[in-house]
Chains A and B, each alone.
Chain A
Amino acid sequence: MSTNRQADRASPWRAPILFALLAVLFVMEGTMRNAMFSGSWNTALGILNMGLISAITALGVNMQWGYAGLFNVGVVGFLALGGVAPVLIATQPVPGAWSTGGVRLLIALAVGLGTLALAAQAWKLLRAGRGLVVLMILITGFVVYRWLFDPAVLAIEGNNPSRHGNIGGLGLPVLLSWLVGGAFAAAAAWAVGKVALGLRSDYLAIATLGIGEIIVAVLKNEDWLARGVKNVTSIPRPVPYEIDLQNNPEFVAFAHSWGFSAAEASGIWVKICYMLLFLVVLLAIILLAELALKSPWGRMMRAIRDNETAAEAMGKDVTARHLQIFVLGSAVIGIAGAMMITQDGLMAPVGYNPLRYTFLIWVMVIVGGSGNNWGAVLGAVLIWFLWIKAEVWGPALIAFLTAPLPDGGLKAHLLESAAHMRFIAMGLVLLLVLRFAPRGLVPEQ
């Protein structure tokens, strides 16, 4: 794998042709109404927007895997952490939350982090008997932290629990929260990477698997943060609301001139606004990534990936560079997480399923072509389209295949379980591409 990555140059027309085919698929989804396509532009644009968010996530994963060979199995956690940002930054402040326990909570969190930092410093500076000292610091810190933290959480969660019960946001513009989401994910990635990098390659995978599960568990259970499973709704939008558009006579006239009803046109308009925003972010990230990849830094990264020992012998600090790229890639994933929550307008932690948000993203990166940014984008949008459509096509296919079977238990069971076929199909796609086309649809140049 490491040697044949840059083997022969693929045709320069490959990527444009594949992207054109993808565009045709979306146009068919938007215009043709039959057994395979919905014929609704609202559906087509909805799939495309989520595909673009997946593409940004895939870009982050591609930086980690394609540039540095790091296997991140906690994508779902970094996405979820990014999704916290719109809640904390953009929603309106909750009256009373800060005065009841907000300050105490911040102090508690500072004490918690301070304890860890102090313990780390003590471990570095002391020599004899340092184990005992560090243990004492940790225990004292933990007691103080809980003493500060528990009453603060009770107070915040008791503050109007049916409507709020959380710390609330700052009321700042929602677009700002995208950057903050990236910063959140980057901070978590730094902590994990600091521990797990520099050891054998499987350890990072296992550690990220753990941090992913823990972040999602925190989101589900810490009601003060984002109301846990009670969900935060009405996260502000950077684009107009459908209902305002429908009440605007100019927009209604404009919609009729194109032959759409006001309801349909408003949905399409909002989705196009989101699409443009997402495209701007996507292109900006690709531009930065491509510039970085073609710079001396990018060449160093690829040199490290292709032969760590040689790069180390040339005086490159492999672990530090790995940490750098891991943090950068996770930041991109965090930005995508914040964008996803902004688009949904809803923070629902039960939705963060690792099969959907970690492993599906990996299928996208591998299918698209690891190491190639355009490949990751292509793979993400294509796989997302297929994933959504498989929900419709799968049962149809099973119904067609089982048509000759007599009615009975087996047929009913097969029809019922058609939904699970998606997982088998994705597993097969991943394995087949990994084996027969390890460089993906659009190989690295």
Chain B
Amino acid sequence: MDILNAVVAILNFVVIPAAAYGAQLALGALGVTLIYGILRFSNFAHGDTMAFGTAVTILATWGLQGLGISMGPLPTALLALPVGIAATAALALVTDRAVYRFYRVQRVAPIILVMASVGVMFLMNGLTRLLIGVDEQRFADGARFVIDVRTFREMTGLTEGLAFKTTQALTLVIAVLVVWALFWFLNRTKSGKAMRAYSDNEDLALLSGIDPDKVVRMTWIIAAGLATIAGVLYGLDKAFKPFNYFQILLPIFAAAIVGGLGNPIGAIAGGFVVAFSEVAITYPWLKIAGYLFPAWQPEGLLQLLGTEYKFAVSFVILIVVLLFRPTGLFRGKSV
């Protein structure tokens, strides 16, 4: 019985939250890695792109709620998502035309593009603040839980409860669907193949008649879509606060680099590696140790690192990867 309790506690406090968080990071890292693969720079504005997309989605959600439209048990934000994606994609295309294209044509060093993306980050940050302010917003509605703690206890008779939030279930389902659609697009459609060819070898792709402008446009649209979905899911699961979206940039970069920059499968794996390490290292294991080894009475909480240092986990993972395998686990681009 105690072992079952321990398993449930691990599921409840580690596996489920980490899986949801990992899916959100994976979607964010996919956007970063795609932009890296095609446009060949690390986009520092990605966190604020997520924030902008989420802000637009929240505004649309409020509009829908004002009209009295809802989706029953599901959050209304899902209905508003296409609006957010469209607005973010439009903004991404505008910034590409106004900012990045100039440098791309000039073929400047990648670090100049990174710097330009910092300027774009400033702009998007200001836009988001203009749209919705800097305060925390909660916009999840509908049913809160798929399974809540009390029902689970009554169902199983265990002392340990298990909660599975709707937003967590939704995150996992949507992430699977989005990743499936993305890989179908990249591997099966002509445009997707063009994108992969361009990423592998730009000159060869140009020689075979691939239109670079179209590839770049598609990349921005897909990246903006992924960023908005990741941002909305993260905001539904936790809460929307613009500054948190700036901070999530570090775990997202860590995920993309762990998997190998430019490699989509790596980005997904990286997202889960970062999320599981972060949750496992900052979780106090005292309760689970109590179930498994009742005789052992440790003094502390058995927490390796305080939750306030969760970003340190992504950083250490990043450092370890840079030290031992700079191209990432799945062999991304090394240049």
Is A15's beta carbon under 8 Å from chain B? no
Is A294's beta carbon under 8 Å from chain B? no
Chain A nearest CB from B28 CB (Å) reads: 14
Whole-angstrom CA separation of A206 from B311 in the bound complex: 13
Asked whether, in the complex, the Cβ of B102 is within 8 Å of the Cβ of A71, the reply is no
Asked whether, in the complex, the Cβ of A359 is within 8 Å of the Cβ of B257, the reply is no
Contacts of A217 in B (CB 8 A): 308-309, 311-312
Asked whether, in the complex, the Cβ of A423 is within 8 Å of the Cβ of B126, the reply is yes
Asked whether, in the complex, the Cβ of B306 is within 8 Å of the Cβ of A71, the reply is no
Whole-angstrom CA separation of A364 from B280 in the bound complex: 41
Is A221's beta carbon under 8 Å from chain B? yes
Whole-angstrom CA separation of A359 from B119 in the bound complex: 9
**A223-249 CB contacts (< 8 Å) to partner B:** none
Whole-angstrom CA separation of A150 from B305 in the bound complex: 12
- Name the residue among A199, A202, A207 with the largest chain B CB count within 10 angstroms: A202
Is A205's beta carbon under 8 Å from chain B? yes
Asked whether, in the complex, the Cβ of A210 is within 8 Å of the Cβ of B314, the reply is yes
Is B295's beta carbon under 8 Å from chain A? no
Contacts of B272 in A (CB 8 A): none
Chain A nearest CB from B201 CB (Å) reads: 18
Chain B nearest CB from A169 CB (Å) reads: 25
Q: Considering only CB atoms, which chain A residue lies closest to B320 in the complex?
A: A195
Asked whether, in the complex, the Cβ of B319 is within 8 Å of the Cβ of A359, the reply is no
Whole-angstrom CA separation of A207 from B253 in the bound complex: 10
Q: Considering only CB atoms, which chain B residue lies closest to A146 in the complex?
A: B300
Contacts of B114 in A (CB 8 A): 71, 201-202, 205
Asked whether, in the complex, the Cβ of A207 is within 8 Å of the Cβ of B118, the reply is no
Q: Which stretch, A176-184, A376-384, A404-412, A425-433, touches the partner chain B?
A: A425-433
Q: Considering only CB atoms, which chain B residue lies closest to A423 in the complex?
A: B126
Contacts of A150 in B (CB 8 A): 300
Q: Considering only CB atoms, which chain A residue lies closest to B317 in the complex?
A: A210
Whole-angstrom CA separation of A434 from B116 in the bound complex: 7
Is B130's beta carbon under 8 Å from chain A? yes
Asked whether, in the complex, the Cβ of A366 is within 8 Å of the Cβ of B250, the reply is no
Is A37's beta carbon under 8 Å from chain B? no
- Name the residue among B119, B246, B315 with the largest chain A CB count within 10 angstroms: B119
**A80-116 CB contacts (< 8 Å) to partner B:** none
Contacts of A366 in B (CB 8 A): 115
Asked whether, in the complex, the Cβ of B42 is within 8 Å of the Cβ of A202, the reply is yes
Asked whether, in the complex, the Cβ of A221 is within 8 Å of the Cβ of B111, the reply is no
Q: Considering only CB atoms, which chain B residue lies closest to A228 in the complex?
A: B308
Whole-angstrom CA separation of A425 from B125 in the bound complex: 11
Contacts of A213 in B (CB 8 A): 247, 250, 311, 315
Chain A nearest CB from B81 CB (Å) reads: 24
Asked whether, in the complex, the Cβ of B311 is within 8 Å of the Cβ of A214, the reply is yes
Is B286's beta carbon under 8 Å from chain A? no
Interface string of B226-265 (1 = CB under 8 A from A): 0000000000000000000011011001100100000000
Interface size on A, residues (CB 8 A): 44
Is A73's beta carbon under 8 Å from chain B? yes
Is A18's beta carbon under 8 Å from chain B? no
- Pick the residue among A202, A207, A355, A417 that contacts B111 (CB under 8 A): A202
- Pick the residue among B112, B126, B314, B334 that contacts A434 (CB under 8 A): B112
Asked whether, in the complex, the Cβ of A214 is within 8 Å of the Cβ of B315, the reply is yes
Is A281's beta carbon under 8 Å from chain B? no
Is B122's beta carbon under 8 Å from chain A? yes
**A197-217 CB contacts (< 8 Å) to partner B:** 199-203, 205-207, 209-211, 213-214, 217
Is B41's beta carbon under 8 Å from chain A? yes
- Pick the residue among B112, B311, B322 that contacts A196 (CB under 8 A): B322
- Pick the residue among A1, A201, A417 that contacts B129 (CB under 8 A): A417
Asked whether, in the complex, the Cβ of B311 is within 8 Å of the Cβ of A210, the reply is yes
Known contacts: A203-B322, A423-B129. The answer to whether A71 contacts B111 by CB under 8 A is yes
Asked whether, in the complex, the Cβ of A206 is within 8 Å of the Cβ of B116, the reply is no
Q: Considering only CB atoms, which chain B residue lies closest to A199 in the complex?
A: B326
Asked whether, in the complex, the Cβ of B126 is within 8 Å of the Cβ of A420, the reply is yes
Known contacts: A150-B300, A354-B246, A424-B127. The answer to whether A205 contacts B111 by CB under 8 A is yes
Contacts of A209 in B (CB 8 A): 44, 249-250, 253
- Name the residue among A220, A422, A423 with the largest chain B CB count within 10 angstroms: A423
Known contacts: A202-B42, A221-B309. The answer to whether A427 contacts B319 by CB under 8 A is no
Contacts of B109 in A (CB 8 A): 1-2, 69, 201
Whole-angstrom CA separation of A362 from B119 in the bound complex: 10
- Pick the residue among A210, A424, A431 that contacts B130 (CB under 8 A): A424
Chain B nearest CB from A284 CB (Å) reads: 29
Chain A nearest CB from B16 CB (Å) reads: 26
Whole-angstrom CA separation of A332 from B326 in the bound complex: 29
Whole-angstrom CA separation of A150 from B323 in the bound complex: 29
Q: Considering only CB atoms, which chain A residue lies closest to B323 in the complex?
A: A195
- Name the residue among A73, A195, A217, A431 with the largest chain B CB count within 10 angstroms: A431
Is A272's beta carbon under 8 Å from chain B? no
Is B335's beta carbon under 8 Å from chain A? yes
Contacts of B127 in A (CB 8 A): 424
Interface string of B298-310 (1 = CB under 8 A from A): 0010000010110
**B102-146 CB contacts (< 8 Å) to partner A:** 102, 108-112, 114-116, 118-127, 129-130, 133-134
Known contacts: A214-B309, A217-B309. The answer to whether A424 contacts B99 by CB under 8 A is no
Is A289's beta carbon under 8 Å from chain B? no
Contacts of A421 in B (CB 8 A): 126, 130
Is B8's beta carbon under 8 Å from chain A? no
Chain A nearest CB from B292 CB (Å) reads: 19
Asked whether, in the complex, the Cβ of B42 is within 8 Å of the Cβ of A205, the reply is yes
Contacts of B115 in A (CB 8 A): 71, 362, 366, 430, 434
Whole-angstrom CA separation of A73 from B309 in the bound complex: 19
Known contacts: A359-B118, A431-B120. The answer to whether A210 contacts B318 by CB under 8 A is yes
- List residues of B whose CB falls within 8 A of some A CB: 41-42, 44, 99, 102, 108-112, 114-116, 118-127, 129-130, 133-134, 246-247, 249-250, 253-254, 257, 300, 306, 308-309, 311-312, 314-315, 318-319, 322-323, 326, 334-335
- List residues of A whose CB falls within 8 A of some B CB: 1-2, 69, 71, 73, 150, 195-196, 199-203, 205-207, 209-211, 213-214, 217-218, 220-221, 354-355, 359, 362, 366, 417, 420-428, 430-431, 434-435
Other contacts beyond A210-B254, A431-B123: 20, CB < 8 A: A1-B108, A73-B118, A202-B42, A202-B111, A205-B44, A206-B42, A206-B250, A206-B257, A207-B318, A213-B247, A213-B311, A214-B309, A214-B311, A214-B312, A423-B122, A423-B125, A427-B122, A428-B119, A430-B118, A430-B119
21 contacts across the A-B interface (CB closer than 8 A): A1-B108, A1-B112, A2-B109, A71-B114, A71-B115, A199-B322, A202-B42, A207-B322, A209-B249, A209-B250, A210-B250, A210-B318, A213-B250, A214-B311, A217-B309, A366-B115, A423-B125, A427-B124, A430-B115, A431-B116, A434-B119
Closest 4 A-B residue pairs measured CB to CB? A427-B122, A423-B126, A424-B126, A427-B123
